[in-house]
């Protein structure tokens, strides 16, 4: 039985459009789980943290956390906290960012509203050119539709779409969702996942429990 290697960059032979994302990330505040893939047919997928994780300035110390076995389509964007100009001022202009220019002692962090980290669960599918905003948590097994703009948390195994993204439907019944969340197959050893992959693909939950 062949065991997949999550430590290589390109999971498919002679296909440079898909990468195991964790192996092209070197930013301390971006964390990606095993076997999560990113596909890009426009730009080099290896440049994900430069092209897809935007406004990620060190001063905010915010994090992007992505779980295991996620599928991220071409052009998906993650807008971090520095995209959020403050609403607590009479002006949205980033005066604190240019404190040297204006000869005032201000903290640049005051220029932005900090919404928190972006947290993506496991086995999440993020569609083509979807946008995820700072502070959003997406639950395990969720699906984000093409060009959706996600401004609020997404529950596990929920399909969302639109601008702003809204729930379309749940993928399974509440009972099955609870069983899947308890199962956490993505945390199994690779050998066990490989052995049970036909049951996963067939939707045979009984065989997995």
User: What element of type H or E holds 202?
Assistant: helix 190-202
Active site residue 56: no
Which sign does the torsion angle of CA 35, 36, 39, 45 carry? negative
CA distances from 160 to 68, 132, 157 (A): 20, 12, 10
Cβ neighbours of residue 29 under 8 Å, at least 6 residues apart? 56, 61, 62, 63, 64
- Residue 95's SS3 state is helix
**Class of residue 186 by CB neighbours under 10 A (exposed 0-12, middle 13-18, buried 19+):** buried
Residues with catalytic annotation? 85
């Amino acid at each position: 039985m062949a065991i997949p290697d999550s430590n290589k960059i390109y999971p498919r032979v002679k296909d440079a459009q898909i990468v195991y994302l964790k192996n092209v990330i070197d930013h301390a505040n971006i964390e990606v789980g095993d076997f999560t893939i990113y596909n890009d047919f426009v730009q080099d997928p290896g440049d994900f943290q430069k092209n897809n994780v935007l406004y990620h300035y060190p001063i905010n110390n915010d994090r992007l956390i992505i779980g295991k076995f996620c599928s991220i389509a071409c052009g998906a964007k993650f807008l971090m906290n520095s995209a959020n100009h403050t609403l607590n001022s009479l002006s949205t202009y980033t005066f604190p960012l240019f404190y040297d220019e204006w000869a005032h002692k201000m903290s640049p962090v005051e220029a932005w509203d900090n919404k928190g980290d972006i947290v993506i669960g496991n086995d999440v599918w993020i569609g083509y050119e979807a946008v995820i905003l700072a502070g959003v948590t997406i639950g395990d097994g969720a699906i984000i539709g093409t060009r959706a703009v996600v401004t609020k948390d997404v529950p596990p195994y929920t399909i969302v779409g639109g601008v702003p993204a809204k729930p379309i439907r749940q993928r399974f019944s509440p009972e099955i969702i609870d069983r899947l969340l308890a199962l956490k197959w993505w945390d199994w050893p690779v050998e066990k996942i490989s052995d049970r992959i036909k049951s996963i693909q067939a939707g045979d939950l009984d065989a997995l429990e």
